[in-house]
Structure 1
Amino acid sequence: MQNEVTAVAEGFKNYNNYGAWLRKKYNGQRVFKVIVDGGFTCPNRDGSKGFGGCTYCNVDSFTPSVSRETPNLREQVIKGMERARTGNKADKFIIYFQPNTNTYAPVHYLKMLYDEALSIDPENIVGLSVGTRPDCIDAEKIALLESYTDRFDVDLEMGMESIYDETLGQINRGCTHGELISALELLKNSKLDVCVHTIFGFPWESKEMMLAYADEINRFEQIKFVKFHHLHIVEGSIMGVKYKREPFKLFSLPEYADFLCELLPRVRPDIVIQRLFGLSDRELLIAPNWQLKKSEIQHFIDETIRQRGVVQGSALL
């Protein structure tokens, strides 16, 4: 289940994990991401690029209920920070604009939203994280985000999903891998920390095809963070309807852990891994249901990696 506040406190691992990176950067302080919904839509939903969105997507599946139920941005930030302080003893915060496409608006409007969110507790807010699509990035929006880097750490998260245009077409992504490459070129000398998000497990992609994602990510020095997710099927998505009619093969947890053990040695060791898997709210999840809590899944994957002696980037040495 995706909580409105994402904890980032973990022990030593054989890969360059985000929790350890944050602890080191902020001298051991507990830093939490506070997810906020800025009320954006998506060009793949509003008709600009298409309708219905990506076939795997139901925005509610990765938007915390508190954000959906609290339209006021200021209240979302304040309540999220309060919960993190009370429940997780948080010290500092990263404001994370996650749902939909958070650069899909004129720059003056984006500035108004970002300014409001960051102004609420400037002494304790240390970062801004903005999730978007590669076809909604341009030089003007990059310049806006860079204008915050003298006061905050700013990362720009873009959905790569797959490196294959055939897959991007099948999932109705509405943009090509070439458009991601173009966005990465714009970010080549940027002050922003660039994160890309991938999905593993589309049934028509072989293991070899998925392992090649690492080779493509490694090409771009400007990529600092990655989020690896396994494909999960959720209610309210086009893929969910198709899966119910005709189920197809998805990763079991042991299979996914096995795959990550092959993938991680191929990933550049300087890249910080923010996530190795993703989960939706249980009431929206159709499959695969691993019937474990998020912490239990993380433990299983980490133990598999540790027991096998897997080390990020070892295949590149």
Structure 2
Amino acid sequence: MGTALDNGIKPYNHYGAYLKDKYNGQKVFKVIVDGNFTCPNRDGSKGYGGCTYCNVDSFTPDTARKIPSIREQVENGIARARTNYGAEKFIIYFQPNTNTYAPTHLLKMMYDEALSIDPDNVLGLSVGTRPDCLDFEKIALLESYTDRYDVDLEMGMESIYDDTLNRINRGCSHDEFLSTMKMLQNTPLELCVHTIFGFPWETEEMMLRYADEINKQANIKYVKLHHLHIVEGSIMGAKFKKEPFKLFSIEEYTDFLAKFIPLLRPDIIIQRVFGIADQDLLIAPNWGLKKSAIQTYIDKGLEARGVKQGTLYSF
């Protein structure tokens, strides 16, 4: 018979299973689009250099960044997903940098163009951004697509502590995140929150409190849980090379997730349980495994520890 995991049942509310159930077993794939955006803490609006953990590609002049057009990216992404993964339906995912950091009329042109390609098979729009780069006008634009598409708005919360946000040059306070969540209180948008675990000055107890803060926000539908990794081209990477600091091993991170996931509200869907970086950019921690092997290791570790999402959630 095998374990629940052997039968495709994970010890948490898993995004892949959610999509499969929602779309009647069809293979749904996210197609990443780079809209050539920047961020307010890169261009001087709030600061320079970007978040300290980020690979700051904005140091490269725009004229040297040969990004294909939105149409080319979507067409090529859909073709690859069909060929390599047998994908049938697609979600257009504006991922790199801050994808609401432009005038609303320009955002509409970009989103419209991306969604116009293969309209019979595009089911949704996913937009990654920062809490301080949203306003009622941009929210209204995103909401205008919800009569035709599932629209997922992904925001980087990263940490719930302003001390951490200041240390990593985030340029955005936790209060700004909470204020944006209030603006989105009655939205039809599907809200996703991104967190990073493992900043060396945050204790395990501090990190476990993220769950309480997420649980309080009734309109959060998805979360992405990432561990801190150090990459080339980042401010943190340069500091790490001079003075290395403690990072999660894969076993330690699995132990942490085994404590965190039971605290998380059981209706929340977990899109990711770990972060990834290109091997040619990754400095640490290098767990020596490919993405699928990391996923398997963590899932098996959680199952072996008897983890179930929400068992320690307090209403």
**Shorter-chain TM-score tier:** over 0.9
TM-score (norm 1): 0.93
Partner of 2:60: none
> SS in structure 2 opposite 1:156?
strand
Partner of 2:33: 36
Pairwise CA distance, 1:71: 2.3
TM-score (norm 2): 0.94
> SS in structure 2 opposite 1:182?
helix
> SS in structure 1 opposite 2:254?
helix
User: Aligned partners of 1:187, 1:227: CA distance in 2, in Å?
Assistant: 19
Check the 8 A contact 2:98/2:129 in 1, yes or no. yes
Alignment of 1:61-72 (within 5 A): 70-72=67-69
Partner of 2:143: 146
Moved over 3 A (4+): none
**Counterpart amino acid of residue 209 in structure 2:** A
Partner of 2:18: 21
> SS in structure 1 opposite 2:312?
helix
Q: Deviations over 1:85-129 (max 9, x none)?
A: 001100000000000000000110000000000000111000100
Check the 8 A contact 1:135/1:183 in 2, yes or no. yes
**Counterpart amino acid of residue 228 in structure 1:** L
> SS in structure 1 opposite 2:222?
strand
Check the 8 A contact 1:155/1:193 in 2, yes or no. yes
- The counterpart of 1:249, out of the listed 223, 243, 246, is 246
- The counterpart of 1:307, out of the listed 304, 308, 315, is 304
Check the 8 A contact 2:158/2:194 in 1, yes or no. yes
Check the 8 A contact 2:26/2:89 in 1, yes or no. yes
Partner of 1:185: 182
Unaligned runs of 5+ in 2: 1-6, 58-64
- The counterpart of 1:288, out of the listed 265, 278, 285, is 285
> SS in structure 2 opposite 1:315?
coil
User: Aligned partners of 2:267, 2:313: CA distance in 1, in Å?
Assistant: 12
Q: Which moved more, 1:300-309 or 1:241-250?
A: 300-309
Pairwise CA distance, 1:157: 0.4
Pairwise CA distance, 1:12: 1.5
Aligned length: 301
User: Aligned partners of 1:183, 1:18: CA distance in 2, in Å?
Assistant: 24
CA RMSD of aligned residues (A): 1.1
Partner of 1:63: none
Percent of aligned pairs with the same residue? 71
Check the 8 A contact 1:251/1:288 in 2, yes or no. yes
Pairwise CA distance, 1:226: 0.2
Partner of 1:84: 81
Partner of 2:4: none
> SS in structure 2 opposite 1:314?
coil
**Counterpart amino acid of residue 291 in structure 1:** G
User: Aligned partners of 1:244, 1:51: CA distance in 2, in Å?
Assistant: 21
- The counterpart of 1:279, out of the listed 266, 276, 279, is 276
Check the 8 A contact 2:36/2:67 in 1, yes or no. no
- The counterpart of 2:71, out of the listed 59, 71, 74, is 74
Partner of 1:297: 294
Partner of 1:268: 265
The reply on whether 1:169 has 2:146 as its aligned counterpart is no
Partner of 1:228: 225
User: Aligned partners of 2:56, 2:237: CA distance in 1, in Å?
Assistant: 13
> SS in structure 2 opposite 1:151?
coil
